[in-house]
Amino acid sequence: MGCSKWTTGFNFGHLKAQSKLSVFFTMIIIFTYLFYCLTGYCDSLPRPVYDQQTSFLQKLQLNDGLDLPPQQQSDARKSSSPGSVVRELPGFHSGNSRLQEKDNEQRPDNISIANNFGSKKFPQTIIIGVKKGGTRALLEFLRIHPDVRAVGAEPHFFDRFYDKGLEWYRNLMPRTLEGQITMEKTPSYFVTKEAPRRLFDLSRHIKLIVVVRDPVTRAVSDYTQTLSKQPGLPSFQSLTFRNSTTGLIDTSWSAVRIGIYAKHLENWLQYFPLSRFLFVSGERLVTDPAGEMGRVQDFLGLKRVVTAKHFYFNQTKGFPCLKKPEGSSRPRCLGKSKGRPHPQISPEVLLRLREFYRPFNMKFYQMTGQDFGWD
Protein backbone atom coordinates (compact mmCIF):
# COMPACT_ATOMS: atom_id res chain seq x y z
CA MET A 1 0.00 0.00 0.00
CA GLY A 2 2.81 2.34 0.94
CA CYS A 3 4.61 1.37 -2.24
CA SER A 4 1.51 2.24 -4.30
CA LYS A 5 1.25 5.69 -2.71
CA TRP A 6 4.94 6.26 -3.34
CA THR A 7 4.55 5.25 -7.01
CA THR A 8 1.52 7.51 -7.47
CA GLY A 9 3.36 10.44 -5.93
CA PHE A 10 6.38 9.78 -8.14
CA ASN A 11 4.24 9.69 -11.32
CA PHE A 12 2.49 12.90 -10.32
CA GLY A 13 5.78 14.65 -9.65
CA HIS A 14 7.23 13.33 -12.91
CA LEU A 15 4.26 14.62 -14.93
CA LYS A 16 4.49 17.99 -13.19
CA ALA A 17 8.18 18.25 -14.09
CA GLN A 18 7.43 17.36 -17.72
CA SER A 19 4.73 20.02 -17.83
CA LYS A 20 7.14 22.67 -16.54
CA LEU A 21 9.76 21.59 -19.06
CA SER A 22 7.26 21.84 -21.92
CA VAL A 23 6.24 25.32 -20.84
CA PHE A 24 9.91 26.31 -20.57
CA PHE A 25 10.73 25.18 -24.13
CA THR A 26 7.55 26.78 -25.48
CA MET A 27 8.56 30.11 -23.96
CA ILE A 28 12.05 29.80 -25.50
CA ILE A 29 10.53 29.23 -28.94
CA ILE A 30 8.15 32.19 -28.56
CA PHE A 31 10.89 34.56 -27.37
CA THR A 32 13.21 33.40 -30.15
CA TYR A 33 10.52 34.06 -32.76
CA LEU A 34 9.77 37.51 -31.34
CA PHE A 35 13.48 38.36 -31.28
CA TYR A 36 14.00 37.52 -34.97
CA CYS A 37 10.84 39.32 -36.03
CA LEU A 38 11.88 42.45 -34.15
CA THR A 39 15.30 42.37 -35.82
CA GLY A 40 13.70 42.14 -39.27
CA TYR A 41 14.52 38.50 -40.02
CA CYS A 42 10.88 37.63 -40.67
CA ASP A 43 10.76 40.12 -43.54
CA SER A 44 13.57 38.31 -45.33
CA LEU A 45 11.69 35.03 -45.72
CA PRO A 46 11.32 33.97 -49.37
CA ARG A 47 8.35 35.37 -51.21
CA PRO A 48 6.37 33.86 -54.06
CA VAL A 49 8.02 33.88 -57.46
CA TYR A 50 5.93 34.58 -60.55
CA ASP A 51 7.36 33.98 -64.00
CA GLN A 52 10.65 35.53 -62.87
CA GLN A 53 12.63 36.03 -66.05
CA THR A 54 9.84 37.44 -68.28
CA SER A 55 8.27 39.63 -65.61
CA PHE A 56 11.62 40.97 -64.42
CA LEU A 57 12.87 41.88 -67.89
CA GLN A 58 9.58 43.55 -68.82
CA LYS A 59 9.77 45.74 -65.74
CA LEU A 60 13.36 46.66 -66.44
CA GLN A 61 12.37 47.68 -69.97
CA LEU A 62 9.39 49.68 -68.76
CA ASN A 63 11.41 51.44 -66.06
CA ASP A 64 14.18 52.27 -68.51
CA GLY A 65 11.81 53.84 -71.01
CA LEU A 66 11.92 51.11 -73.65
CA ASP A 67 8.91 50.44 -75.83
CA LEU A 68 6.50 47.62 -75.05
CA PRO A 69 3.10 46.89 -76.58
CA PRO A 70 0.34 48.93 -74.85
CA GLN A 71 -1.25 45.92 -73.17
CA GLN A 72 2.11 44.76 -71.78
CA GLN A 73 2.86 48.30 -70.56
CA SER A 74 -0.48 48.40 -68.75
CA ASP A 75 0.12 45.02 -67.12
CA ALA A 76 3.68 45.89 -66.17
CA ARG A 77 2.77 49.24 -64.59
CA LYS A 78 0.48 47.49 -62.12
CA SER A 79 3.55 46.10 -60.42
CA SER A 80 6.39 48.21 -61.76
CA SER A 81 7.61 49.82 -58.56
CA PRO A 82 11.19 48.93 -57.60
CA GLY A 83 9.93 47.13 -54.51
CA SER A 84 7.56 44.91 -56.47
CA VAL A 85 10.29 43.94 -58.91
CA VAL A 86 12.68 42.98 -56.13
CA ARG A 87 10.03 40.99 -54.28
CA GLU A 88 9.61 38.74 -57.28
CA LEU A 89 13.27 37.74 -57.23
CA PRO A 90 13.94 34.53 -55.29
CA GLY A 91 15.25 35.13 -51.80
CA PHE A 92 15.31 38.94 -52.10
CA HIS A 93 13.33 41.64 -50.29
CA SER A 94 13.07 45.34 -50.90
CA GLY A 95 13.68 46.51 -47.33
CA ASN A 96 13.57 50.24 -46.63
CA SER A 97 16.56 51.38 -48.67
CA ARG A 98 16.42 54.72 -50.48
CA LEU A 99 17.33 54.96 -54.14
CA GLN A 100 20.38 56.97 -55.08
CA GLU A 101 18.83 59.58 -57.37
CA LYS A 102 15.25 60.89 -57.38
CA ASP A 103 15.19 61.43 -61.11
CA ASN A 104 16.49 57.92 -61.75
CA GLU A 105 14.46 56.01 -59.18
CA GLN A 106 12.94 53.82 -61.91
CA ARG A 107 16.27 52.85 -63.43
CA PRO A 108 17.01 49.12 -63.34
CA ASP A 109 20.54 49.65 -62.06
CA ASN A 110 19.07 51.25 -58.94
CA ILE A 111 16.75 48.37 -58.09
CA SER A 112 18.39 47.00 -54.99
CA ILE A 113 18.65 44.10 -52.62
CA ALA A 114 18.85 45.97 -49.33
CA ASN A 115 20.15 45.19 -45.88
CA ASN A 116 21.86 47.14 -43.14
CA PHE A 117 25.18 47.02 -44.98
CA GLY A 118 24.09 48.42 -48.34
CA SER A 119 22.47 47.16 -51.51
CA LYS A 120 23.47 45.04 -54.48
CA LYS A 121 22.85 46.97 -57.68
CA PHE A 122 23.57 46.56 -61.35
CA PRO A 123 26.71 48.50 -62.32
CA GLN A 124 26.32 52.15 -63.17
CA THR A 125 29.73 52.02 -64.88
CA ILE A 126 31.63 49.29 -66.73
CA ILE A 127 35.20 49.28 -68.04
CA ILE A 128 34.48 47.47 -71.31
CA GLY A 129 37.94 47.42 -72.87
CA VAL A 130 40.51 46.87 -74.07
CA LYS A 131 42.66 43.87 -73.22
CA LYS A 132 46.27 44.84 -72.39
CA GLY A 133 45.30 48.50 -72.51
CA GLY A 134 45.59 49.25 -68.79
CA THR A 135 42.15 48.24 -67.50
CA ARG A 136 43.46 46.52 -64.37
CA ALA A 137 45.54 49.56 -63.42
CA LEU A 138 42.55 51.86 -63.91
CA LEU A 139 40.30 49.66 -61.79
CA GLU A 140 42.84 49.48 -58.95
CA PHE A 141 43.34 53.25 -59.05
CA LEU A 142 39.57 53.80 -58.92
CA ARG A 143 39.12 51.47 -55.97
CA ILE A 144 41.00 53.96 -53.81
CA HIS A 145 37.98 56.24 -54.10
CA PRO A 146 35.57 55.78 -51.16
CA ASP A 147 32.56 56.19 -53.46
CA VAL A 148 33.55 53.38 -55.83
CA ARG A 149 32.84 49.71 -55.19
CA ALA A 150 33.99 47.27 -57.84
CA VAL A 151 34.07 43.54 -58.51
CA GLY A 152 37.66 42.27 -58.35
CA ALA A 153 37.37 39.42 -60.86
CA GLU A 154 36.06 39.92 -64.39
CA PRO A 155 32.40 38.74 -64.47
CA HIS A 156 32.27 38.12 -68.27
CA PHE A 157 28.49 38.25 -68.02
CA PHE A 158 27.72 39.94 -71.35
CA ASP A 159 30.06 37.71 -73.37
CA ARG A 160 30.29 34.28 -71.68
CA PHE A 161 27.68 33.86 -68.95
CA TYR A 162 24.66 35.77 -70.22
CA ASP A 163 22.51 32.65 -70.00
CA LYS A 164 22.95 32.60 -66.21
CA GLY A 165 20.49 35.48 -65.91
CA LEU A 166 20.30 38.93 -64.37
CA GLU A 167 19.92 37.77 -60.78
CA TRP A 168 23.17 35.82 -61.06
CA TYR A 169 24.92 38.90 -62.43
CA ARG A 170 23.66 41.24 -59.74
CA ASN A 171 24.63 38.81 -57.01
CA LEU A 172 28.25 39.17 -58.14
CA MET A 173 28.19 42.88 -57.35
CA PRO A 174 29.49 44.31 -54.06
CA ARG A 175 27.06 45.96 -51.70
CA THR A 176 27.01 49.74 -51.96
CA LEU A 177 25.72 52.54 -49.78
CA GLU A 178 23.77 55.52 -51.02
CA GLY A 179 25.96 57.71 -53.21
CA GLN A 180 28.46 54.97 -54.08
CA ILE A 181 29.02 53.68 -57.61
CA THR A 182 28.90 50.00 -58.50
CA MET A 183 31.25 49.01 -61.31
CA GLU A 184 32.98 46.08 -62.98
CA LYS A 185 35.51 45.56 -65.73
CA THR A 186 35.61 42.96 -68.50
CA PRO A 187 37.85 44.10 -71.40
CA SER A 188 36.51 41.51 -73.83
CA TYR A 189 33.10 43.24 -73.90
CA PHE A 190 34.46 45.85 -76.33
CA VAL A 191 35.17 43.25 -79.03
CA THR A 192 32.12 41.04 -78.40
CA LYS A 193 29.46 41.60 -81.05
CA GLU A 194 26.48 40.77 -78.79
CA ALA A 195 27.64 42.79 -75.77
CA PRO A 196 26.29 46.26 -76.76
CA ARG A 197 22.75 45.01 -77.36
CA ARG A 198 22.72 42.92 -74.19
CA LEU A 199 23.99 45.80 -72.11
CA PHE A 200 21.52 48.21 -73.70
CA ASP A 201 18.68 45.82 -72.83
CA LEU A 202 19.72 46.17 -69.19
CA SER A 203 20.25 49.94 -69.09
CA ARG A 204 20.67 52.67 -71.68
CA HIS A 205 21.98 55.04 -68.97
CA ILE A 206 25.16 53.16 -68.10
CA LYS A 207 28.56 54.88 -68.40
CA LEU A 208 31.19 53.03 -70.44
CA ILE A 209 34.95 53.38 -70.07
CA VAL A 210 37.36 52.21 -72.78
CA VAL A 211 41.10 52.17 -72.05
CA VAL A 212 42.96 52.24 -75.36
CA ARG A 213 46.65 51.90 -76.16
CA ASP A 214 48.81 52.06 -79.28
CA PRO A 215 47.45 49.00 -81.12
CA VAL A 216 50.94 47.86 -82.18
CA THR A 217 52.28 47.95 -78.61
CA ARG A 218 49.05 46.39 -77.40
CA ALA A 219 49.39 43.49 -79.88
CA VAL A 220 52.96 42.81 -78.73
CA SER A 221 51.87 42.91 -75.09
CA ASP A 222 49.01 40.54 -75.86
CA TYR A 223 51.43 38.15 -77.58
CA THR A 224 53.87 38.38 -74.65
CA GLN A 225 51.16 37.39 -72.18
CA THR A 226 50.10 34.40 -74.29
CA LEU A 227 53.74 33.37 -74.78
CA SER A 228 54.25 33.25 -71.02
CA LYS A 229 51.46 30.69 -70.81
CA GLN A 230 52.30 28.83 -74.03
CA PRO A 231 56.11 28.75 -74.48
CA GLY A 232 55.77 26.83 -77.76
CA LEU A 233 53.78 29.62 -79.43
CA PRO A 234 54.85 30.49 -83.02
CA SER A 235 56.74 33.73 -83.54
CA PHE A 236 54.97 37.08 -83.50
CA GLN A 237 55.86 37.59 -87.16
CA SER A 238 54.37 34.29 -88.32
CA LEU A 239 51.12 35.01 -86.48
CA THR A 240 50.87 38.58 -87.74
CA PHE A 241 51.05 37.86 -91.47
CA ARG A 242 48.94 35.56 -93.57
CA ASN A 243 51.70 35.76 -96.13
CA SER A 244 55.07 37.21 -95.08
CA THR A 245 56.02 37.82 -98.72
CA THR A 246 53.02 40.02 -99.56
CA GLY A 247 52.82 41.49 -96.07
CA LEU A 248 49.08 40.77 -95.79
CA ILE A 249 48.03 41.14 -92.14
CA ASP A 250 46.04 38.32 -90.56
CA THR A 251 43.07 40.07 -88.94
CA SER A 252 41.68 36.75 -87.72
CA TRP A 253 44.40 36.68 -85.05
CA SER A 254 42.84 38.22 -81.94
CA ALA A 255 45.99 40.13 -80.99
CA VAL A 256 45.66 42.06 -84.27
CA ARG A 257 41.86 42.21 -84.43
CA ILE A 258 41.41 43.82 -80.99
CA GLY A 259 43.45 46.86 -82.07
CA ILE A 260 41.04 47.83 -84.86
CA TYR A 261 39.26 50.11 -82.39
CA ALA A 262 37.16 52.03 -84.94
CA LYS A 263 35.44 48.85 -86.11
CA HIS A 264 34.47 47.78 -82.59
CA LEU A 265 33.34 51.26 -81.62
CA GLU A 266 30.97 51.36 -84.60
CA ASN A 267 29.19 48.34 -83.15
CA TRP A 268 28.73 50.10 -79.78
CA LEU A 269 27.56 53.38 -81.31
CA GLN A 270 24.56 51.57 -82.78
CA TYR A 271 23.20 51.39 -79.24
CA PHE A 272 24.87 54.10 -77.14
CA PRO A 273 25.62 57.76 -77.94
CA LEU A 274 29.22 58.94 -77.76
CA SER A 275 28.37 60.90 -74.59
CA ARG A 276 28.07 57.62 -72.66
CA PHE A 277 31.75 56.78 -73.34
CA LEU A 278 35.03 57.90 -71.83
CA PHE A 279 38.18 56.94 -73.74
CA VAL A 280 41.19 56.70 -71.45
CA SER A 281 44.72 56.76 -72.85
CA GLY A 282 46.71 53.76 -71.67
CA GLU A 283 49.91 55.70 -72.33
CA ARG A 284 48.85 58.72 -70.25
CA LEU A 285 47.67 56.37 -67.52
CA VAL A 286 51.38 55.49 -67.19
CA THR A 287 52.97 58.93 -67.73
CA ASP A 288 50.31 61.01 -65.97
CA PRO A 289 48.07 58.76 -63.85
CA ALA A 290 46.73 61.63 -61.76
CA GLY A 291 45.70 63.59 -64.87
CA GLU A 292 43.84 60.66 -66.42
CA MET A 293 42.25 59.80 -63.09
CA GLY A 294 40.98 63.37 -62.86
CA ARG A 295 39.18 62.91 -66.19
CA VAL A 296 37.72 59.60 -65.06
CA GLN A 297 36.44 60.98 -61.77
CA ASP A 298 34.86 63.95 -63.57
CA PHE A 299 33.15 61.61 -66.04
CA LEU A 300 31.71 59.56 -63.18
CA GLY A 301 30.55 62.65 -61.30
CA LEU A 302 32.90 61.94 -58.41
CA LYS A 303 34.90 64.33 -56.28
CA ARG A 304 38.58 64.32 -57.29
CA VAL A 305 39.86 62.24 -54.39
CA VAL A 306 42.48 60.21 -56.30
CA THR A 307 45.31 62.67 -57.03
CA ALA A 308 49.08 62.80 -57.61
CA LYS A 309 49.74 62.17 -53.92
CA HIS A 310 48.56 58.57 -54.36
CA PHE A 311 51.16 57.58 -56.99
CA TYR A 312 54.85 56.96 -57.42
CA PHE A 313 56.65 55.62 -60.50
CA ASN A 314 58.17 52.15 -60.18
CA GLN A 315 61.33 52.18 -62.30
CA THR A 316 61.64 48.37 -62.25
CA LYS A 317 58.13 47.69 -63.53
CA GLY A 318 57.98 50.76 -65.73
CA PHE A 319 54.57 51.99 -64.57
CA PRO A 320 53.05 53.87 -61.62
CA CYS A 321 52.20 52.17 -58.35
CA LEU A 322 50.01 53.28 -55.49
CA LYS A 323 51.77 54.56 -52.40
CA LYS A 324 51.35 52.32 -49.41
CA PRO A 325 48.06 52.83 -47.62
CA GLU A 326 47.99 53.64 -43.92
CA GLY A 327 48.66 50.59 -41.79
CA SER A 328 50.40 48.74 -44.63
CA SER A 329 54.09 47.93 -44.77
CA ARG A 330 54.37 47.94 -48.55
CA PRO A 331 53.06 49.91 -51.54
CA ARG A 332 50.43 48.47 -53.86
CA CYS A 333 51.74 47.53 -57.30
CA LEU A 334 50.12 45.37 -59.94
CA GLY A 335 51.13 41.71 -59.98
CA LYS A 336 54.12 40.01 -61.57
CA SER A 337 52.13 39.48 -64.77
CA LYS A 338 52.20 43.24 -65.37
CA GLY A 339 55.27 44.90 -66.84
CA ARG A 340 56.76 41.83 -68.53
CA PRO A 341 59.67 42.55 -70.88
CA HIS A 342 58.58 42.25 -74.52
CA PRO A 343 60.39 39.92 -76.92
CA GLN A 344 62.60 41.37 -79.66
CA ILE A 345 60.56 41.83 -82.84
CA SER A 346 61.87 42.92 -86.23
CA PRO A 347 61.42 46.70 -86.78
CA GLU A 348 60.19 45.91 -90.29
CA VAL A 349 57.36 43.77 -88.89
CA LEU A 350 56.36 46.54 -86.48
CA LEU A 351 56.48 49.12 -89.29
CA ARG A 352 54.18 47.05 -91.50
CA LEU A 353 51.77 46.57 -88.64
CA ARG A 354 51.83 50.29 -87.89
CA GLU A 355 50.99 51.08 -91.52
CA PHE A 356 48.10 48.64 -91.34
CA TYR A 357 46.62 50.33 -88.27
CA ARG A 358 47.12 53.94 -89.43
CA PRO A 359 43.82 54.41 -91.33
CA PHE A 360 41.87 52.72 -88.53
CA ASN A 361 43.58 54.96 -85.98
CA MET A 362 42.71 58.08 -87.97
CA LYS A 363 39.07 57.03 -88.10
CA PHE A 364 39.09 56.29 -84.39
CA TYR A 365 40.50 59.77 -83.65
CA GLN A 366 37.74 61.28 -85.77
CA MET A 367 35.01 59.22 -84.09
CA THR A 368 36.12 60.03 -80.55
CA GLY A 369 37.37 63.57 -81.13
CA GLN A 370 40.68 62.62 -79.48
CA ASP A 371 44.16 62.32 -80.98
CA PHE A 372 46.00 59.61 -79.05
CA GLY A 373 49.28 60.27 -80.89
CA TRP A 374 49.99 56.74 -82.05
CA ASP A 375 51.24 57.80 -85.53
pLDDT digits (tens, 9 = 90+) for 205-262: 999 999 999 999 999 999 999 999 999 999 999 999 988 778 899 999 999 999 999 9
Categorize the per-residue pLDDT at 17 as very low, low, confident or very high, splitting at 50, 70 and 90.
low
Strands (E), 197-302: 207-212, 241-243, 248-249, 277-281
Distance in angstroms (rounded) separating the CA atoms of residues 289 and 273: 27
Categorize the per-residue pLDDT at 51 as very low, low, confident or very high, splitting at 50, 70 and 90.
very low
Helix axes 195-202, 52-63, angle to 10 degrees: 80
Q: Active-site residue 324, yes or no?
A: no
Q: Is 136 annotated as a binding residue?
A: yes
Q: Domain 119-368: what homologous superfamily?
A: P-loop containing nucleotide triphosphate hydrolases (3.40.50.300)
Distance in angstroms (rounded) separating the CA atoms of residues 142 and 290: 11
Q: Is 338 annotated as a binding residue?
A: yes
Q: Is 13 annotated as a binding residue?
A: no
Q: Is 217 annotated as a binding residue?
A: no
**Could you say which of 120, 121, 131, 132 is catalytic?**
132
Distance in angstroms (rounded) separating the CA atoms of residues 80 and 95: 16
**Please, are residues 131 and 212 in contact by the beta-carbon 8 Å criterion?**
no
Other CB atoms within 10 Å distance of the CB of residue 309 = 8
Angle at 43 between CA 42 and CA 48, to 5 degrees: 110
Strands (E), 213-264: 241-243, 248-249
Domain segments of the chain as ranges = 119-368
| pTM of the shown model | 0.69
- 7 pLDDT exceeds 50? no
